[in-house]
Amino acid sequence: MELKRVVVTGLGAVTPIGNDVETTWNAAINGVSGAGPITHFDASLFKTQFACEVKNFNAEEHFDRRRLRQLDLYAQYALVAAAQAVKDADLDSEAVNKDRVGVIVAAGIGGLHTFEEEAGYYAKNEEKGPKYNPFFIPKMIADIASGHISMDYGFHGPNYGVVSACASSNNAIIDAFNLIRLGKADAMVTGGAEAAIFPAGVGGFNSMHALSTRNDSPETASRPFSKSRDGFVMGEGSVVLILEELEHALARGAKIYAEVAGGGMSADAHHLTATHPEGLGAILSMQNALDDAEMTAADIDYINVHGTSTPVGDISEVKAIVKVFGENAYKLNISSTKSMTGHLLGATGALEAMFSVKAVQEDIVPPTINHEEGDDDPEIDYNLNFTFGKAQHRTVRAALSNSFGFGGHNATVIVKKYEK
């Protein structure tokens, strides 16, 4: 059977550097850091006291109080981003058969804050016996953002969540892409959402020594590919993309940002939390994506790397890129936008897919910030163009975006310029 072509027709974003797509993109290409002291809770006794939080988000501007009782923060972010994307694509219109529109919005953790609140309530009131909020479970579960979105718009197509740690939303995008090109849906609302900047999230990652502890300079703490990197900076938010079958999009006159070319997945099968030191899973994921897209290494102009600013992960990803791309690795641009946004966990793939789409659309590569002169790691090849410091203008025919997760999950998405 002939596979259908899939394009991106809508975008929505609530991120640490902007509460819509335009603001987020402008901040990214201007190298703005979203890091600062944690405000969601008192983090003064934690090893890490900063994060990349969403700012100036007033839930009551979007939801009434009754609805808010049903929504964990991660789902609030997802619903706001989805509303932007649906409006952007004009997907909530009579021209769209909603039985053929589905939703796959991922989360790596889901309603962590809700879980903390309910567990804490029981601990304080144990002598009275168990008494939980009736919304506890439906607020907490990691699939519920997809459920809420489908109910808000009456989308009756495939509907579920994806959980694969920090690869979750790339997996969601790949699933949505495959459903459309196989003819199972006309359009899919897809992406990811996360809100884990709470005691259990920060404390848990601290205990693993995964987070940066650069409390004296939060805005420079995420420094991928620098020798002094000491862990990732936690972020939060949601990004939602509308993927659509090409002929369906053309028939209704939808604008087209880019085309989804392919997706690849793999497993490291190596370690609970660490990437394979030689990047074997990353190599396989990227090569699978290129094969799926029927593209070669020479067709890619930009890689938005996973690039979390961890000592082991950055090195293994660079090794993987050089292995897959060979001499072409030195002709393309590489950047880690996590240097600005932090690591959005289950939402990070969607955010970086959006950056890849915008790079393809506007021929601008966002930078990797916070690399300082003299802070070179001897294990990293700086003949590669990491786009340090400033965005770079170049033709971006196609962009590849990597997301890797605890458990050895790897997922790679490729987007390219749409051509008739």
* Residue 192 DSSP SS3: strand
Alpha-helical (H) ranges within 238-310 are 246-251, 280-293
- Measured between alpha carbons, how far is 38 from 54 in angstroms, rounded to an integer? 10
E runs forming strands in 224-316: 237-245, 258-267, 302-304
Asked if 301 and 399 touch (Cβ cutoff 8 Å), the reply is yes
Backbone torsions φ then ψ of 255, nearest 5 degrees: -75, 150
Q: Which residues contact 280 (CB under 8 A, 6 or more apart)?
A: 268, 270, 320
How many of the other CB atoms lie within 10 Å of CB of 256? 17
Closest by Cα among 330, 390, 402, 332 to 366: 390
Burial of 46 (0-12, 13-18, 19+ CB in 10 A): middle
Asked if 406 and 394 touch (Cβ cutoff 8 Å), the reply is no
- Measured between alpha carbons, how far is 408 from 406 in angstroms, rounded to an integer? 5
Asked if 307 and 315 touch (Cβ cutoff 8 Å), the reply is no
Burial of 357 (0-12, 13-18, 19+ CB in 10 A): buried
What is the full DSSP assignment across 195-223?
---SHHHHHHHHHTT-B---TT-GGG---
Which residues are paired to 166 by β-bridges?
Answer: 164
What is the full DSSP assignment across 367-401?
PBP---TT-B-TTS-TTSB--BSS-EE---SEEEE
Structure tokens at 35: 């890091």
* Residue 150 DSSP SS3: helix
Burial of 416 (0-12, 13-18, 19+ CB in 10 A): buried
Give catalytic residues, as residue numbers: 166, 306, 343
